[in-house]
Amino acid sequence: MTDTSLPEAADEGEPLILTLPDDSGSARLDKALASLTEEYSISRSRLRALIEGGDVRLANGSPLTNPSQKVKGGETIHIIVPPPLPATPEPEDIPLEVIFEDKHLIVVNKPVGMVVHPAPGAWTGTLVNALLHHCGDSLSGIGGERRPGIVHRIDKDTSGLLVVAKSDAAHNGLAAQFAAHDLEREYKALVWGTPSSANARLAGLPSVSFEPGWVRIETTIGRSRTDRKKMAVNIKDGRNAVTRFTIEEHLGPLTQISCRLETGRTHQIRVHLAHVGHPLVGDQAYGRSRVPPASLPDETRAALAAFPRQALHAATLGFIHPIKGEEVRFESVPPEDYQSLKALFIAP
């Protein structure tokens, strides 16, 4: 996942899908749904809050936010019922690779497989749990109980650098830099194919432009209308997103690129690269259709097909220290699984 400033979107549970009876006629949304949700123990006040909060939608994803809105019999309605909030995260003795730390902030190198903060399906074993143990009381109350000190995040299966605040002043200063996009964030990625301005498909996309040494992608990104667990480009009510990338190394059917984020939307790099036809190797959500070329050795094809995660690493993080006012910059090399995959295409 791509790095994203918080908050981005509320955690969503699985939708409750209801179809209004054909004989409902034209009825108020809240009343029509109330009669269908009794068995789910959703109170009338709770239902109204879900409607006004944008958690009640038509099957096409369009939100229904007015309780008195008229609906018709036969319409299918999706209700997103957020899961109950968990207890305050508990400290857990989980090893951390600390790149830098002072009394104001800490920079860590997050491993593959670690969730940044507690969420449905991952209430324990997160970076927050590890930080609470490592930092003790210094994180208390900073940025909220569920996400203490967290000002940005990367996906569970993306590795790399994250900065976490240890004081309110540091949190506010870092959050302001993320909001203004005044940070240096560079990612290493392995993608399918070779992006080139000579490629008619790539050059013909209105969202793509070419700058000296860089390819620039600009779209809106928002929740997919067909799969609420995924993001998509060119969503009407999505948020503007800009990614730049440059080619670093040609690796047969793959290319290593370096990506720089101007914005930080959910899954931004993954969505943008899939959009331009060069999805990340191993991306289970946005690159599943890619099949290793038959011309490759069987061992190489098997390794590519079995790579279980997006080949993406947050390699560089630079910002102004929010308290000291000094420029700081940190670097991290991709983990072993990334390096091993890449090595398959480097001549001995």
Query: What amino acid positions are annotated as catalytic residues?
Result: 155
- Contact in structure between 301 and 291 (CB atoms under 8 Å): no
CA 151 to CA 75: how far, in whole Å?
40
Residue with tokens 């997050």: 110
Phi-psi region at 13: left, alpha or beta (left = phi > 0; alpha = psi -120 to 50): beta
DSSP for residue 24: G
Structure tokens belonging to residue 249: 């190394």
> Cα dihedral angle (233, 234, 238, 239), rounded to 10 degrees?
80
Amino acid at 267: H
Q: CA-CA distance, 337 to 348, in Å (whole number)?
A: 18
- Count H helices, E strands: the chain? 8, 18
CB count, 10 Å around CB of 285?
20
Question: DSSP alpha helices (H): ranges in 204-254?
Answer: none
CA-to-CA dists, residue 141 to 107, 138, 148, angstroms = 19, 9, 6
Q: Letter for the amino acid at 26?
A: S
Q: What is the 3-state secondary structure (H, E, C) of 48-94?
A: HHHHHCCCEEECCCCECCCCCCEEECCCEEEEECCCCCCCCCCCCCC
What gap in Å lies between CA 33 and CA 79, rounded to an integer?
A: 10
Q: Order the strands of the 15-19 sheet from edge to edge.
A: 15-19, 76-80, 56-58
The DSSP bridge partners found for residue 240 are 220
Cis peptide before 86 (omega within 30 of 0): no
